[in-house]
Structure 1
Amino acid sequence: MLKVAVLVSGGGTNLQAILDAVDSGKITNAQVSLVVSNNPNAYALTRAKNHGIEAVCISPKEFESREKFHEALLKKLQESGAELIVLAGYLVAIPPMIVEAFPNKIINIHPSLIPSFCGVGYYGLHVHEAALKRGVKVTGATVHFVDTGTDTGPIILQKAVKIEPDDTPESLQRSVMEKAEWKILPKAINLIANGKVSVDDHIVTISD
């Protein structure tokens, strides 16, 4: 049984999609054993507690330096026995020390079709604002492994979402979540939990 730690910053809708997928059997051989947020008021922590999952806040504001914060986060992840770390709307950059401690064991969901609209500054509504401003006809979501860059790790799954003429950043954000994020993030976890994902020279292969 793969032990999964989920890192969140806000409401936790992606976390809920994961929990629902575990409960329904769409994710097998995995369980969420820890939820961590940098935000003490994140509703995701309440979702976790309601599900009987350990939920903790580890905020940079509680530490004298960023390095101390990183050390505390790494310590908690290691103590939990986490075998896969899922960034589900976690708005804090993961430092190299954590990436190196969990090589190809950290995944992230990004609300665009990488390499479009990704990298530094592309988070939350900014991604959808940029897509609409550029006038692309299709956007979507990407699940990728986390490396020491920003949205540069090996791509696991992608799903496209059509942009409608009357879309706003807010409506597009909702559409991408419902049609793509909530589907491919649980799917990626299930594939990893069942040994279907391998990485070679930055390329992900998914076996049958």
Structure 2
Amino acid sequence: MLNVLVMVSGGGTNLQAILDAVDNGAIRNTKVTAVISNNPNAYALERAKNHGIPAEVISPKNYGTREEFNEALTERVKALCPDLIVLAGCLVKIPAQMVDAFRNRIINIHPALIPSFCGVGFYGLRVHEAALSRGVKVTGATVHFVDEGTDSGPILLQKAVDVLPGDTAEVLQKRVMEQAEWVILPKAIDMIAAGEIPIG
């Protein structure tokens, strides 16, 4: 059984996609054992509670320094002993000591086809605004391992999504979520659980 910790910051739509996929068997041999948010107002926390999954808040605002937060987050995650950590719309930079402790056991979903529209500052609607302003005809989503950089770890899965005439950033964001993110993030977790993608 693959024990998964999901880290979130907002609405938790990717968390919901994971929970639904576990429930319907699209993700095999996997249990979401905990959810951590840096944002106490994240609706993702409600999704976890509604599913009977322990959820907690670890926010940088509750610590005097970033180093204290990084230490607290890393120690809490270690205490939870996850086999896999999934960043599902998590807007906190993962501390280097946590990356080191869970090398090749942290994955992230990014709403673009890396290496396009990724790195520092590219998150949420900003990604889709950048894609539209550049005039790309195809965008999508990427699941990748997390390393010390931003969106720079090895790519696991990608799925393309067409950009349509008249798209706004909000419309494009929704299409990328529905057609790519909610498809490849559960698929990556299932492949890891099945041993098709080696971790650790």
In the superposition, the TM-score normalised over structure 2's length comes to 0.98
Runs of 4+, deviation exceeding 3 Å: none
| Deviation of 1:75 (Å) | 1.4
**2:69 aligned residue:** 69
How far does the alpha carbon of each residue in 1:13-68 deviate from its partner, in whole angstroms, 9 at most, with x for none?
A: 00000000000000011110010000001010010011010000000011111111
How far does the alpha carbon of each residue in 1:101-155 deviate from its partner, in whole angstroms, 9 at most, with x for none?
A: 0000000000000000000110011100010001000000000000011101000
CA distance in 1, matches of 2:150, 2:89: 14
CA distance in 2, matches of 1:30, 1:132: 37
CA distance in 2, matches of 1:117, 1:192: 26
**2:47 aligned residue:** 47
| Deviation of 1:70 (Å) | 1.0
**1:20 aligned residue:** 20
Matched residues, number = 199
Q: CA RMSD in A?
A: 0.8
| Deviation of 1:198 (Å) | 3.4
**1:100 aligned residue:** 100
**2:175 aligned residue:** 175
Helix, strand or coil for the counterpart of 1:198?
coil
- For 1:152, the aligned partner's letter is S
Helix, strand or coil for the counterpart of 2:198?
strand
- For 2:22, the aligned partner's letter is V
| Deviation of 1:88 (Å) | 0.4
**1:36 aligned residue:** 36
Unaligned runs of 5+ in 2: none
How far does the alpha carbon of each residue in 1:162-194 deviate from its partner, in whole angstroms, 9 at most, with x for none?
A: 000010000000000000000000000000111
- For 1:24, the aligned partner's letter is N
CA distance in 2, matches of 1:198, 1:22: 20
**1:127 aligned residue:** 127
CA distance in 2, matches of 1:129, 1:169: 5
User: 1:91-170 residue pairs with structure 2 within 5 A?
Assistant: 91-170=91-170
In the superposition, the TM-score normalised over structure 1's length comes to 0.94
- For 1:155, the aligned partner's letter is I
1:79 maps to 2:79: yes
Unaligned runs of 5+ in 1: 200-208
- For 1:106, the aligned partner's letter is I
Helix, strand or coil for the counterpart of 2:113?
coil
CA distance in 1, matches of 2:150, 2:11: 23
1:190 maps to 2:190: yes
CA distance in 2, matches of 1:22, 1:81: 20
CA distance in 1, matches of 2:188, 2:160: 15
